[in-house]
Structure 1
Amino acid sequence: MQDVMIVTGGSQGIGAAVARLAAARGYKVALTYQSNQAMADAVVADIKAAGGTAIAVRAEMADEASILALYRTVDETFGPLTALVNNAGTPGPMGRIDTVTTAILDTVLAVNVRAPFLMIREAVARMATDRGGKGGAIVNISSRAAELGGAGEWIHYAASKGALDSLTVGAAKELATRGIRVNAVSPGLIQTDLHARAGLPDRLNKLVGGVPMARVGSVEEVATAVLWLLSPEASYITGVIVPISGGR
């Protein structure tokens, strides 16, 4: 019986890399997208062309009803979940702390904190051994911003990722005897279009000088770490937050 994975925000960037690698390693993958169905469908098509199994599900991470509908779709299509990657997130607009509105905070915290919490809650109902599940593993996609603070740019984003780190540690301790491992990865400067979409296409080039390895990372390097944490090779690891940042 194949393992079943949900990757939120799986239509691009780190999420798409995780979805492709997971499918290549035998998972049935349900990847979510918010609005760009064409990008999500392209990832699914790539996976199927390589002999894997995947579906794309539209889901609004800020909406609980949408999350519940996502799980119903996965239950009906693939069966019980065994792996969850909480990747969907939003940085919100760049700005100093005195420019951050309540609306910005509400959106960032809903997508980056509340959604992973609800995703984990629903995963537990399916994975936990004391609820009839066969166990499983969860990886949250955090950010080095949680430790670096995001000053002058994205304090609101950094704070949300700090909360995600706390959720990771707490859930790992609570679920350890229920057959579920919970870990996180904390990417640093990774080559995605996030910076360009924020209007800062040269941001990586400007900051790479602060990386001891003197380069940015790739989404594939993040995906490899995620799949390792989900695998039996990491069976005695839970509650850790792995920096993927070239030493930054």
Structure 2
Amino acid sequence: MSETLAGSAVIVTGATGGIGAAVARMVAAEGVAVVAVDLAVDRLDRLLADLPGAGHRSVAVDLRDLATHDRILDAAGDTGRPLAGLAHLAAVLRRRHRLEDITEEDWDLQVDTNLKATFFLNRAVGLRLAAAGNGGAIVNLSSQGWWTGGLGGSVVYNAAKGGIVSMSRGLARTLAPQRVRVNTVAPGFVDTEMMRAGMTDEQLAASVAMVPLGRMATPDEIADAVVYLLRPGARYVTGATLNVSGGQLMY
């Protein structure tokens, strides 16, 4: 059995972000047709122009609009390749360092994007993979905050990320008979625009000081974990949460 994803299609959401772009580059380098999903058309165009290989597609949508999920599956079908999986990395973080500053709109934005849209896209892709009969893999991005509760004004964000872990386990059990695997990757601090947004240099330094390895991860280091779980070599891994936090979270 091949241990690579070559010749297949993989959907990558949040594809123009730091981790998303790293995942897209890694799977494209394996001979995968990437279906890149994000909000901004111009950033998607730049990403696709830089990807190795051919057959890539882009879909510019707000995943909170559940009606757009069919467009993503249609784009995967347009590649002419069998769909192998989904790397669902799209997320939004709105930091509020004081609890009294959190609004209902803050809650709705983060929970609808990070949890509600995750479930419905997972369901659509999972059912498509199950119907095809070839198995496949879904990898959702959580956070070390699913366990710790979140730091740096991210309580609502990590409430949703905790929901992703529980939801992914439930989907893993449900889809296992069809050989569709569902796992999560829980990063610690990663050097991305999202991580740095809304934090002073002092707050960022205090966060990094909690990491035993003494630094933030690079996007590629998180992408390595995501791509491992997508590959056929991880065929006996499902319902797992892979902690990639530099030792910040140990369990």
Give TM-score scaled by structure 2 length: 0.91
Q: Residue type matched to 1:42 in 2?
A: R
SS in 2 for 1:82: strand
1:183-217 CA distance string (max 9 Å, x none): 11000011111133335455433311110111111
Within the candidate set 13, 19, 22, 1:14 is matched to 19
1:163 is aligned to 2:168: no
- Rounded Cα–Cα distance in structure 1 between residues aligned with 2:152 and 2:192: 21
1:44 is aligned to 2:45: no
Q: Is the 8 A contact 1:12 1:40 kept in 2?
A: no
The CA deviation at 1:56 is 1.8
1:63-83 CA distance string (max 9 Å, x none): 111222222232234454221
Within the candidate set 37, 48, 66, 1:32 is matched to 37
SS in 1 for 2:209: helix
The CA deviation at 1:52 is 4.3
Q: Is the 8 A contact 1:8 1:15 kept in 2?
A: yes
Q: Residue type matched to 1:58 in 2?
A: A
- Rounded Cα–Cα distance in structure 2 between residues aligned with 1:90 and 1:11: 13
2:227 corresponding residue in structure 1: 227
What is the count of residue pairs matched by the alignment? 243
Q: Which runs of 5+ in 2 are unaligned?
A: 1-5
SS in 2 for 1:216: coil
Q: Is the 8 A contact 1:108 1:157 kept in 2?
A: yes
1:14-59 CA distance string (max 9 Å, x none): 0110000010012110111113x22222211111xx3344222101
- Rounded Cα–Cα distance in structure 2 between residues aligned with 1:11 and 1:152: 24
SS in 2 for 1:31: strand
Change (3 A) 1:177 1:93: same
Q: Is the 8 A contact 1:149 1:158 kept in 2?
A: yes
CA RMSD of aligned residues (A): 1.7
- Rounded Cα–Cα distance in structure 1 between residues aligned with 2:165 and 2:108: 19
Identity of aligned residues (%): 35
- Rounded Cα–Cα distance in structure 1 between residues aligned with 2:81 and 2:127: 13
Q: Which runs of 5+ in 1 are unaligned?
A: none
2:93 corresponding residue in structure 1: 91
Q: Residue type matched to 2:107 in 1?
A: L
1:122 corresponding residue in structure 2: 124
2:215 corresponding residue in structure 1: 215
Q: Is the 8 A contact 1:80 1:126 kept in 2?
A: no
SS in 2 for 1:60: coil
- Rounded Cα–Cα distance in structure 2 between residues aligned with 1:202 and 1:9: 28
SS in 2 for 1:121: helix
SS in 2 for 1:183: strand
Q: Is the 8 A contact 2:115 2:164 kept in 1?
A: yes
The CA deviation at 1:147 is 1.1
Change (3 A) 1:108 1:171: same
Q: Is the 8 A contact 1:7 1:32 kept in 2?
A: yes
